[in-house]
Amino acid sequence: MISFFNRIASAGKEPFWLIAGLGNPGRKHESNWHNCGFMVLDILAGRHQISVDRLRHKGLVGQGRVAGRKSILLKPLTYMNLSGDAVAMALAYYKVLPARCLVIYDDVDLSVGQIRIRESGGAGSHNGMRSVIDRLDREDFPRIRVGIGPKPEAWDIADYVLSDIPASQRELMDETLNKAADAVEMLLGEELEKAMNYFNRR
């Protein structure tokens, strides 16, 4: 199996990273649990002075440098279940290798406060990630999962992920989202294993 670092090297001189945060467009979804991917992208955009405001590839995009790496930030505007359309279009347009396509999304199977980094894998119960995998026709790209669980027993999962983060958990979620942004920066430093070892154990 070709290693992550060998795939990075094969990209040539100064290739792009594509950083896609998954979520739903519109003001009513801004504070939903399901919009954690958008929220992490907003943090990265603020830290690195990147305006994510160009309408392209069925999403909003911005270009700049994250952790010194040439990066495209992408917010799909297709709604969650069709997120893969925007990711696939941007990946093809910017000629990004899958090893440099980083997807950030919420995960109800992780507790609030947790994040997990993986080099590859399936979608689990997440429809947005399933769309990305289906459209790219592969699973070998890195991702960061942001914990939003556990779901309250009485709640339907769709109702829960589309509900707003309550004030009682906002501080912890803000810490978690910033931690996810930290993980992006470490990973882009081409230190995937270091990022996994550091963040996956916390």
pLDDT for the residue 2? 43
Question: Rounded to the nearest 5 degrees, what angle is found at the Cα of 187, between the Cα atoms of 8 and 190?
Answer: 35
pLDDT for the residue 65? 97
pLDDT for the residue 90? 98
* Local structure of 89: helix, strand or coil: helix
Q: Catalytic site residue 29? A: no
Single out the catalytic residue among 34, 48, 57, 126.
34
pLDDT for the residue 201? 81
Domains of the chain: 15-199 (3.40.50.1470)
Q: Which two tokens stand for residue 94?
A: 């910017």
pLDDT for the residue 190? 77
Other C-beta atoms within 10 Å of 202: how many?
Answer: 9
Q: How far is CA 38 from CA 9, 15, 27, 121, 167, in A?
A: 29, 23, 12, 21, 19
Q: Please identify every stretch of the chain with a pLDDT value under 50, giving residue numbers as ranges.
A: 1-3, 5-6, 8-11
